[in-house]
Structure 1
């Protein structure tokens, strides 16, 4: 009795140990069952609880799910430890029509790294309706066909399985046909049309029936196709195949032209009705026709495409034999071809987790990546060996079931190798062996040690004046040789001032792409150049930066119309001039003077006669604005002539203005002539002694002016140390105001002496004013002085300075013969004047173009008599 009790205790302990072992095995295999097409976020199960993990360990040990299929259908809710659906699952896509659909997963946790096998069973739902390949099928049936004849119809396809798969067919109501459903050896249900009563082609040549396929789901789903029956005549024996099903096999490496099987059919008819040709069935899928072909005469089925056991391991399709009678009759059979596997698939290397960048101070044994190896072949062809070259500081650590870990084997040095491209080689055991090489990139992290560098230290930007505020002007670019955040740059304007105004008031820069925008519109006449400092700063810690200078040049535009200086606006809307009726051709009537505030070509001014009472009498000089007679004045000419003169600049678009001149032709009016010697001869005949005194007086003034000119010329030559300068410097002239920019030119024309005043304020272009008077001028706008030396001439400048704007005074003395007229205001071409540049450089240089005339800042004129 005691021995029996001991034996029972041993049996009980052995049974308990065996039960515990079975319980551990069941715990290692976690399986969940879910229906397909679940919404994203649906909870599958509490995987943390099933893996015996605490909720805090889910996040700390980085619990995640990896799938061998490459798609992540599931994820882990780290807050709850639940396995949730992350992508809608289509069972038919994953498992086709297999009865059982299992999706293998891997649950991975770290610290320490562990791997668990998880299986998800996907249950089918009725989400697919039966589908016919063709929406319309045509049957040719002879009218002599006896009742009871059967016609095979297209079978519908339903991707669902089990009770949700295809169950039955129905046929629309008709007088001649009934439906019979035949079940094949593989379980597929094929509809057959059975002739119930004889057909009469003369009564009804065409019959249209609706075939409906129904599945076994709840609710039931269905699909339809149209059966179009064409009634034909006689040929009443159809071909018959020797076998109902032909079976064959072929190597997946079979070349094109290899014969797989030969089908054979016979026909009891004679003559043409007994001649048979072979074809694929009308519902044969395209993928079969891409791989096989049927010889219509011999019935040989041969390979024409590439076979792949892993893609399709077998093919099943229908064949038919048609005779040549009228109507044609056909017989049907099926062919099953098995594709034999060969080692034609190289191993596939799958990265379960992408390699993470490794700090250069990472310890030996740090896990860099998890790797899985798959081979679609089977048997020895599917066994794989994985290796990496020995030159890298890494090694492969095997786990289980073709799973490996890539870990560091030695200390890393980023300065020597910032990154590694590791070639992983997978080799199978087939014959011949196949291998796959995959390169993974492992980066070594570094610190922020490089400052941004601009493409150039400075940039030149050109902007037209009157630009639109907010327009894009220019883009600067800098590069940083670092990576990630250390290479991300932010552009900004350095807090500097332009003309005592912050640079941010003029410009704005896009902090991301370095594009500079204008914040305001610029005026070339006020501001010509600005310097802006741009800074590029990276996002490293600590951040580094560098600067570049942007030189912004304002370009002039033709935004100022010519302004009329003479005749002045204070004289009225029109200028009134007198001329004698005895005036000859070329007689100077008046001179129009204008100025343009722009510069360069935009300030070149031209004059033309726009309108006139008599256009044949007057002409206007294109460049000087002189109004002269084109012919002699006749008695028939009107005594009152009105001229409209248009003044245009050379800009784009052209700016213009007009001035009106009224000319009164008088019979008793005589103007002083331009030739002094001729005039003095006429006066001598009329006035005698008065003319003589006048000549003596004028000659004295001429002599005095010539002496003054030579004295100034000598001083100029000494001041320039032997150079050919025609300038009188401020230090030599004795003029005391250094803040003026005015040029005084002393000119002589026989008995007439005159001064030309050139000046302007700081913000405008230089102006030129010529003053010319005859001894008998009626105008008194000028101060007449009688200098006896250069000092007197300097005193004259001091008098003028009281009313002129602040600028730098400069004056020139030159000897030339102008074309003076009594009108008193005249501007000569600059080609006859010495430039201010020549004075600064200590030489005389000639300028081309025409002088710009402006009334800005001019308060008076001085004429030396």
Structure 2
């Protein structure tokens, strides 16, 4: 090993040797540096046969291009070369000056000898060459002895950079079963060393990990498969490590590595196979069409499109009664009912099911066949079937402003048995605890029983029950999903209390607050709010508002010169409107405090200074103020005493007590002909029946909730649809917390030959005869009580039992 001193001497001798090497080449370049000729001109003169009209001047500068190795680590300055002029006699009269790139910082020159040294560590990868200028001056007079000329110092490269994979680690995919030599991916390593000098940047690739499955081209870096029939099902992921080594891979070169994660992609090289050759299934005879009987599965070791399956029924006596489809998510065969089944007609079926790959590759057909079969035995079970809904699921969309009593869906069920019993509908109240909906017991008409609010409940999932009239143990159910559609019924408003401040030294047009709004509605096109000052503040001289058109607004000052002593707080009403139909708006108030601030706008104090009265009140003035207060107190006491004597009684007379009753009649007769026995107008609107009278009401009760009868169209009160009116009145009674205690709900039933609405009774009088059984009174009493509770009747006697 050389010492640093020996290394420095070697570098100096190397620089001197390179200078001597190029000494003989300076014949052409020195004329250029002295400014007397150009290389092109001399070449043309030398090649020309014509006599020259002038002689070439003698060169003065003696140097050529310099070279110096990078990464010198010695302690002494590195000798680069020597500048010399023929005019230099060695007596020190010539002064050499160096300028240009790095002069004085990277390179220095001995102004007497012309020796150039590098005083900093050089890195070719940072800078490959330096362009400098030299000048020779008369040391005594400072007169230039030579014209200023330019020369170059080039940095010679050494192998100080290892190859690097700038794009690594790599991820690649190659199909399984690929032939040997299939290209997978190309990796590239870069070497920062000089590719034109030596082998420092000549890279050779090799594989360190991944054999014998893969190989790499030593020159190009292309990775290829090296093993036949690589099976994804056996091994799917491979980690390959590639090395790049410079110096052509020779000993002593620098190396870098990268990782290539290679995945074998799937091809269809595995046929499907049923794990069971026989399946046993059962199905109820009441199973509806398209209902699922069971599932079969053919296992395929492939994945993706190569594992897709198509199931078909190829044979068996149940091909016309059952169907099979493929679940695309799980690739199973779903056997469904194709036509109605009957236990009495046929008790069992046999199916032969085939599972096959629909996507095949020609080169793997020899591995087939790519299908398999299994046998399915299906038994039909005899059951007493409950009512069946058609369809088996209901999805209803209802606007939130729908009126109470509106029919939103007709729920339909039937008895699949031969007896075909009558069906009675009800709602499972555990699925509708808020009692928002009501279903007609006979028709299955699903109606709203309370106002809907999307902002409170946007979805309702209820269950409608269907019960056989003659066999109440048979109850069917159907889920009903109700989506409440949004309407613009909420005005935008501030999400929080806004409070801002304005400095006393604020300028006009200064931003003091940015406000935003929220709206509980959810329009399809998104919310868009519009901001403006409220009408009462439209001409506010102090502040203005600018709509940012992005659902926010800026509050700006309109003037300067705010003073706490004049007004310490401003209340700015802001009108916020939405873009819905109809447009809704609200007014929010921005509280603005006037504060004293420093020059940078930082708040110092927001409390107005207290002011002392300029003069104290005299004794006479204080006596006058106290006398006025005393007189006002006496007047207030007199007014209160007078009103106490004039107070009216709380309870109205019994003769003026008006009840909203529905008269009950249990007789069966001539239908509408019997209505002459009573005034049916009381059933629709008792208030209208007593029109023209001036009934007395309780003076201590003021309803806090407005009557919901206004939500019910008047047509509902006069046509045959009584449900809307009754439901509205029920909701009104439930919600009116201040209703008088004598309110009650009573029912009215009638039936007869002349009834337009038909029978409202459960006795089926239309088909009754002398043999009619009245045992229903024993069996149906509790059930009618339950139905009455579902309708909302919780108080008072009921005529149903």
Compute the TM-score of the two structures, normalised by the length of structure 2.
0.30
Compute the TM-score of the two structures, normalised by the length of structure 1.
0.28
Q: Which has the higher strand share?
A: 1
